[in-house]
Structure formats: C-alpha cells, structure tokens
Copies of this chain bind each other. A is one copy, B any other.
Amino acid sequence: FFALAGILPRDEAVERIKAYTEKVYGRRGRAVVERNHAAIDRALEELHEVAVPATVTAGTGRRPVVPPEAPDFVRRVTVRIMAGEGDLLPVSAFPPDGTFPTGTARWEKRMIAQSIPIWDPEICIDCAKCAIACPHAAIRMKVYRPEVLTELGREIPTKPFRSKEVTGLGLTIQVAPDDCTGCGVCVDVCPAKSKAEVRLKAINMRSADEHRDQERRRFEAFLSIPEVDPDLLDPVTVKGSQVRQPLFEFSGACAGCGETPYLKLLTQLFGDRIVIANSTGCSSIYGGNLPTTPWTTNAAGRGPAWSNSLFEDNAEFGLGLRLALENHSAEARDLLAGLATEIGPELAQDILDARQVSEADISLQRDHVRTLWERLKRVEGEPRASAERLLSIADDLVRKSVWIVGGDGWAYDIGFGGLDHVLASGRDVNVLVLDTEVYSNTGGQASKSTPRAAIAKFASSGKSTPKKDLGMIATQYGDVYVAHVALGANELQTVKAFAEADEWRGPSLIIAYSTCIAHGIDMTTSMSHQKDAVRSGYWPLYRYHPGADEHEHPFRLDSKPPSISFRDFATKEARFAMLERVDPEHARRLCDLAQADIDERWRLYDQTTEIERTYIGSEDEEWE
C-alpha cells in the first residue's frame, strides 16, 4: 500500500514498517523478525500491474456451493449463509423450535490443504494411530468382509486386517481430500516405516493438486462400504474405536487442533446415545458456528444431541439434561410395567432388567426398545393413552451418556462453582475438560489451569503460581471418577478412561491435554509432542476409580516417572521459551519452580497410589 500510494517516500515507509516489525516481534526472537522482513521485501518484489480486460471472457461458471444431492435444508438455508446471503433469508426459513439440522459440515468443502495424506497399504501395520489423531475426522478407517469390495466394484485400496479378535477381514484407510486441512499430524504419528525407503511411512503427504481427483473418487467409494457391525470388535481399544463411524467430522477447528480428536472419539464410543452440554469456548464455536455443524448422525439417523449453554452455567445445564432423562426413564419404566400384558411380559421384563453396561448390552436394549415401539403402536382400547405416552419417551429406556464439555477457562475458572456443585451431586454425568491451559478462543488469557512459567495474557512475565490441580480436587468427593489423559501420549489409556467414565454411574471428570496454537508449537507435532509432556512429568497420566472392587488403591498412575526435564519439554513451546528471551534470569527462576512443581506433584501422586479408600455409595444408587 505504501509503495503504491505515495503517502511517504517509499524507502522511508519501508524502513519504518521494518522498525515497527522489530518492535512488535523482537521478543519472539531474531528469526521471527527476519521472516517478517523477508515477507515485506518479497511483497515489494512481486508488485506488478494487473490488466483488467474490458469484458468477461471466461466460458465456465463457478462450481455450485453444494452439490445437488445435498439435503433440502442445506440447499434452501445453509447454502445461502455459506454464500454470504444469510441476511436475505426470511425468519420462516429456520426451524421454529430452535433445533438445527446436524451433519452439515460435510457439505462445506473447504479444500484448504496444499498437501494431503495418501495411505500405503503395503507399509501399514493397522495401528489406527493416524485415524484417532486426525483432528478433522478426515482420516477414515473401515473393516469389512473382502467380498464387499468385489460387490461394490470400485477402486478401493485394501489390505488384510490384523486383529486378535476377528480374522479374514479387509481394511481400508482413506482421507477425505476436501476436508483435510493438511496439518500432517497423521503422518507425524505413523510408526510404520518402509524398509525400502527411509522417509516413507504408511501414510504420506502428497500434493493435493495432483491427487485430489483420485482421492475424491476413492473417498466416495470408501463411504459406500457398509459400517462395521458394532458388536464385531471391542470398541474399548484403539482399533476397535477407530473402525466405528465418527459422528463429529470436518469441523472448522485449527489445523492440528488437540481438542477435536477427543470429541471425535466420544462419538465413536457412544455416538448414538450421547447428550452434550457444551460450554462456550473453542468447542462451542467449531461445534456449532453457523452455517454448519460437525455433529452428525449415522445411517439410522441417530447421533449426539448437542447444545451450547452459557460459560458460567454449563455444568448445571448438563445436570439438568441428566435429571430430565432420569425423570423420563422412571416414567417410562412405570408405564412399561403397567403395559406388560399388552406388549408381552417377557419383553417388558427384559427391558426393565437390562444391565446396559457394555456397548453390546446397550445395543441389545436398543433392539428391545425397537420391538417395543412396534408393539406399542398396535395397543388398542383403554391402555392406548399410556402406550402413546410411552412411545414418546421409550427411547429414554436406553441408557444415555450425558457429557458436559468445555475448556479450562470454563472448568477451572468461570464455571467452576457450578462444576463443583454438579460433581458433588453424585449424579451420572461425565465431564470432559479440553484443557489447553489458557483461554484459547478469546485470545490466550491465563486461566487457573495455565502452568507456572508460561506466558499468557494477564501473565505477561510468566505465570507465577502453579497450575490448579483440578483432578486431585475432584478425587476428594470420593465418588467421582477422575482421569488425566493425553491422547497423543497414550491412546489406549484415553479410550479406557472414556469407557470407564461412561460406565461409572456417578459423576466422572476427564481432564484431557489439548495441544493448541496458543502453546506456540509446530502443530504438525500436536500429538507426538504430548509424549514429551508426559515423559517430563508435566502431564502425568492417571485414573482414579472410586467404585471398582478390584482396585484396593483407587488411584492408579498410568505414566512412568519423569525421564526428561521440564526444560527439555518447555523449550519446544513458545509460551515458555518467550520469557527466556525477554528476561533470562526471571525465566530461569520460574523454570526451576516449575520443575519443583513437577517433582513435588509426582511425589504426591506416587504416595497417593498407596492410599486406600472405600467407596461408600449412596441411598439412591441404582440407575433406572
């Protein structure tokens, strides 16, 4: 602008801009300043005149915003907002009850990746790490009878699926090329290496321009493969969870986001029976920003129910959802008992006595409820009114999994008063804290989760106090299941924690380490970097299980004693490293304190593994 506008002499303008760049970015180090200066020089070099022809000469139009097979609502409403014409929509275009159709993110093809991952079945070892790590559910995994491919008659790369549980199945891993952000996390976490070529893995980044058409065809063919029978593989494993359809896909979260893999996993484990209360924060933005939402449904039209409440009341909001479900369930059980003759005493008893612990149990209960629906529709005469009421609430006879989701700003700070109240309630709710250790969505303010020595807004010279230990606080209730997880460091521990939290009929709290652009790391290493967080003892992995009989010691440390120093971990993150440049002496003192925090915390946890506790239970224990 200044080079063209002639407001200042060109050289003086450039000199001043560079000086200002120095002032603003100086504390981030010489390299950052130089990259900025290079960008300015490059912009000047590339200045050239663009001749604008007098008339339109192109013969092709723009691609339609969504393809014609998109559902009615997307074509009528969503597409208008995507095209920037939202203000032209009449109020009558929107659902009158405030609900919003889900599964719409798949129609918003962003195509932002310059390179996309391509699967190599020759090298793959079926570990599923690429799929579980993908922040955008853009890496999909399916297993199937090999005949399926022949039946479909499409070009689909395949390999035999290695599994201890089942034999004779085929496996395909496929990228959604238009939804991938090109973050490279999948390649970073892939442990399988080619014997022939050193840098080749089982999944590799390739030019999007060159491969998009082929991968589009392959992805479309991949989607036509039937979903796996949910009872075929144990879902509480890394592989078992990843061959299940994600019901959270293609969100607008940052490339390499550390939060979204947890939400995707949630839907793979319990997707068709979860109810989510989502606090305001990043997850409410990428989870429900108009025009599209990444929350979606399976082929049967079932999926998570999702709602965003206020920053300050999300835990209470989720508790309310739980209480409503319990009331419905209790009423449905009463009605069912009263209608036993009409719908068959055996079916009634099966439904009333259902265990509903494992996913297989719940799948069975769902089948029974489906039969119940059919029979209820045929009830005649005087019990008709009861049958109709039961029809409307019978779905709540299937156990729901209520998840209260939010970031650390919500859980540690603004919503903590309510979170505490909900944890103390003894009710069957699951809390998932997507812990980025900072208010990510509002621009990086320090929360009580921010660790000592990290720079953040309101902690511009490094946070002087240690991170609040929310997990250990929650263990004090005695009946709260608590887990401290980091997907990138231990996928299986994360999967198990999710399953145990859902199974536990009291409150559960999972604190999930979520790498974030606010940390100032190379987001391609979003997952692998979490290993260092765990290795240094900065993020210990543990599970506190209040109720299981076999655990005399309810507190279990799932990670090993620290093997690298805090400094080894922290120097890779700008939030810690920045202070070193500005005030090395102060940085050193804070770094020593942060190391002492880690040592002390580890010692405390290690001692806590020896503490015996008995779960006392409560009066109204049984889930109905």
Q: A416-B420, A593-B619 are in contact. Are A426 and B477 (CB under 8 A)?
A: no
Q: A600-B613, A604-B613 are in contact. Are A618 and B465 (CB under 8 A)?
A: yes
Chain B residue contacts of A416, Cβ below 8 A: 416-417, 420-421
B603 touches A466 (CB 8 A): no
A237: Cβ under 8 A from any B Cβ = no
A478 touches B466 (CB 8 A): yes
Of chain B, the residue at the smallest CB distance from A619 is: B464
Please choose the segment from A318-326, A357-365, A384-392, A467-475 that sits at the chain B interface, where 4 or more of its residues have CB less than 8 A away: A467-475
**How far, in angstroms, from A589 to B619 measured CA to CA in the complex?**
8
Q: How many copies does the complex hold?
A: 2
Chain B residue contacts of A465, Cβ below 8 A: 424-426, 618
Of chain B, the residue at the smallest CB distance from A468 is: B424
B617 touches A607 (CB 8 A): no
Of B420, B476, B604, B620, which contacts A611 at CB under 8 A?
B604
**How far, in angstroms, from A473 to B421 measured CA to CA in the complex?**
13
**How far, in angstroms, from A473 to B590 measured CA to CA in the complex?**
25
Nearest Cβ on chain B to A611's Cβ, whole angstroms: 5
Nearest Cβ on chain B to A397's Cβ, whole angstroms: 24
B426 touches A618 (CB 8 A): no
Of B424, B469, B477, B620, which contacts A476 at CB under 8 A?
B469
Of chain B, the residue at the smallest CB distance from A418 is: B417
Chain B residue contacts of A421, Cβ below 8 A: 413, 416, 448
Nearest Cβ on chain B to A131's Cβ, whole angstroms: 37
B612 touches A607 (CB 8 A): yes
Chain B residue contacts of A611, Cβ below 8 A: 604, 607-608
Q: For residues 562 through 613 of chain A, which have their beta carbon under 8 Å from a beta carbon of chain B?
A: 586, 589-590, 593, 596-597, 600, 603-604, 607-608, 610-613
Flag A394-429 by CB within 8 Å of B: 1 or 0 each: 000000000000000000011011101100111000
**How far, in angstroms, from A473 to B608 measured CA to CA in the complex?**
14
Q: For residues 450 through 488 of chain A, which have their beta carbon under 8 Å from a beta carbon of chain B?
A: 462, 464-466, 468-469, 472-473, 476-478
Chain B residue contacts of A604, Cβ below 8 A: 611, 613
Flag A508-524 by CB within 8 Å of B: 1 or 0 each: 00000000000000000
Of chain B, the residue at the smallest CB distance from A465 is: B426
**How far, in angstroms, from A604 to B612 measured CA to CA in the complex?**
7
A196: Cβ under 8 A from any B Cβ = no
Chain B residue contacts of A476, Cβ below 8 A: 469, 472-473, 476
A58: Cβ under 8 A from any B Cβ = no
A478 touches B600 (CB 8 A): yes
**How far, in angstroms, from A597 to B426 measured CA to CA in the complex?**
14
Flag A541-552 by CB within 8 Å of B: 1 or 0 each: 000000000000
A327: Cβ under 8 A from any B Cβ = no
A300: Cβ under 8 A from any B Cβ = no
In this complex, the member of A421, A589, A603 whose beta carbon has the largest number of chain B beta carbons within 10 angstroms is A421
Chain B residue contacts of A608, Cβ below 8 A: 611
Chain B residue contacts of A166, Cβ below 8 A: none
Closest 6 CB pairs of A and B: A417-B417, A464-B619, A596-B616, A472-B476, A426-B465, A607-B611
Q: List 30 A-B contacts (CB under 8 A).
A: A413-B421, A416-B417, A420-B420, A421-B448, A424-B465, A425-B465, A426-B464, A462-B619, A464-B620, A466-B478, A468-B477, A469-B477, A469-B478, A472-B476, A476-B476, A478-B600, A586-B619, A590-B619, A593-B616, A596-B616, A597-B616, A600-B614, A603-B612, A603-B613, A603-B614, A604-B611, A604-B613, A607-B611, A607-B612, A608-B611
